[in-house]
Structure 1
Amino acid sequence: MIFGEHEPNTLRQFENCLQTGNVAGGVLCADGHYGYSQPVGGVIVYDNQISPSGVGYDIACGNKAVRTNLQYEDIKKDIPRIMDDIAARISFGIGRKNKERVDHELFDDPDWNVFRQIGQQEHDKLKKLAVDQLGTVGAGNHFVDLLVEERTGDVWVANHFGSRGFGHKTASGFLNLANGMEFSDRAPGESMEQAPTLIDLDSELGDLYYRAMTLAGKYAYAGRDYVMDEVLAILGAESEFEVHNHHNFAWKETHRGKERIVVRKGATPSAPGQLGFIGGSMGDISVIVRGKDNAENENAFYSTVHGAGRIMSRTQAAGKMNWKKRTRIGGQISPDMMEKAVKRFGVELRGGGTDESPFVYRKLQSVLDAHEDTIDVLHVLKPVGVCMAGANEFDPYKD
């Protein structure tokens, strides 16, 4: 099932996924674009198989959105200061450690034994990395947003990131194992055209990956909870309503009378009544949606978009980076173009590069329209503050 219009390479990649393994169906959402092995915005449904390449390197990337007890008028004059405080208090960027050690019950989760089975050294390294980075946001398209509901004036906060370096190394390690290598081997050069890597779920490796992925999912939830609590503290606000979900993950779900593995890469679960947050660009709306209880949503394997979808690559937008000179050459979007667009939309921006500017994304409403038969839009949110990593940071953990 295909929603919206797509580039030929995205369609070819989606078709290749449908032809590889024990596939029971698939969906290409309207925000879809070319990705690693499986299109971003692509959903592949398997019988008794799981795809670590489909889930991808940013395991459990997702969003948390909270409606606060504040109104826009309560914060309107303080938005520049609030965004300064968010940028100073939350760690953005590649490889960053949290300024404070966070003790969390997930570090006692029995599924850490997965990594002990692989090797005590791998376990110790990964757990230390996870402890160090819990509550950090990363770079790429990861953000903390301050938003206002257009109809009511309610202030919302949203964040977007996943399982950080822990998830990335988990993904690369299991891809190595699935291809006959050692967990900690240096991965070979990756090809975007690589066929999906598949593991039988009832195999020992499949069980280990599923448990490791689930642990990375808990880690991502814990990180997003931590960051949200920090932002609420900055605002002096309380949470009145929350929406929280992954969009890079594999779920065990029942479809067409049978338990399947649903691998969503950049796609939001949308079962009947299920809520989701879908973010637009820094110069566009975001929304809260709810899955419809109808045949159209069932045929879409209860999946919908996770964002607006890129229409321009990072290199096209920002140019090629010369890391020695810390300059970019050949980008189509200039910092001045981006600054004017963001100011015109009324957003107070901290960080962010031209590769995340409004020009590189579709308009969110266009992709929502393509899915109107499967989801209801409950809340329309306009960003008034956006905080991201700095302009020239490369992040391998982005989705």
Structure 2
Amino acid sequence: MPLPDNAQFNRALCDFLARATTPFHAVQVMAERLAAAGFRALREDQAWRLEPGGKYYLTRNGSSIIAFNLGSAAGPEQGMRMVGAHTDSPCLMVKPQPEKLRQGYFQLGVEVYGGVLLNPWFDRDLSLAGRVTYADGGGAMRSALVDFRRAIATIPSLAIHLDREVNQNRSINPQTDILPVLTQLQGDKAPDFRELLAERLRAEHPGIDVARVLDYELCFYDTQPAAELGLEGGFIAGARLDNLLSCFTGLEALLAAGGEQSALLVCNDHEEVGSLSAAGAQGPFLSSVLRRISGDETAYAGLTDRSMMISADNAHGIHPNYADRHDDNHGPRLNAGPVIKINANQRYATNSQTAGLYRLLAREEEVPVQAFVVRTDMACGSTIGPITAGGTGIRTLDIGVPTFGMHSIRELAGSRDAWDLSRVLRRFYDVDGPLFPA
């Protein structure tokens, strides 16, 4: 299946972002795409019967997903071409006992997930989505996804008249200042939030038997859809570009690959909080799948030695108002190509071999390449790249689309870069022969 053109790609990306409001919804949408393309679902608790040329996918926790094909011409023992990304984004998550009734307004207590840029969350039209675990009428425990799909809350700003120094010295207390307002009530009793969830579940999934809600994992999100903008449509603005843009880019590349080489896409949850979880990159999900594909430890060692991972996670574009936050020679520009991310202290896993291979592939696709190195006097972030490389021994490249406003409720990327990255990833999936010299 060929890749769509740039305009079609961006329209599909915006549609994906609209549907993938949480990691659970992102995985659900990706699984639907894979199944429609002929990938067969696997379960970790069952025996696998894998065949040359076969296409498969499996999920863990409903929030991480691995999809792979066993090459029709080259089996996994000859090396797998792998792309990794993450499904989670910084957000506000609802606390277990969240109900607040203050000054007649019904609010929900929230916990900050990841490194959230809090200022942009004020005065937004917010909705709520995630996974709900409930008991049915027979007492059995079940789970279902929920998404209110409309604006049900907002976090109002405090007027400047009541905080005259706000533009000079504003600080946000995450415990007291960012509680969303859902409605105004008469009386002194707040609604039962779990019952509100039960009603929404019944409305969204007609026919299911919800006796009571047991627990939930719910995120607030901005209802404003992703969109192209700029005088010439040069930008894409939207929520969760970090890192659903990379999930979508890797998925499109895998679906467009020829299938002759063994290829894999992994999208992990919990990267924004360190990746240490059953579904995170620091957990056993990927290594467990690769071991089952290999069949034994000797074959697994050969697979990892001959494979390569491209860890795709957004990069910091050089901001025209804050250009001094970048190294003079390493300020990536939007729409000037994907960015190889390099750090001598191994906060990124790129080395000269993996960067060199990517540069060759990009040249073949006529895609420009940029490089990012953090200022030497600033701390450097990290990705699933070093975690995957350290846990599996697989050569890894860190790369990403340059972005403004990373970890904001609405981020900004160039309208060409994701498509360019997907083209190179598709070529990477189809590389014939050994990836590296013996």
Give 1 or 2 for the bigger CA radius of gyration.
2
TM-score (norm 1): 0.32
* Between structures 1 and 2, the one with greater helix share: 1
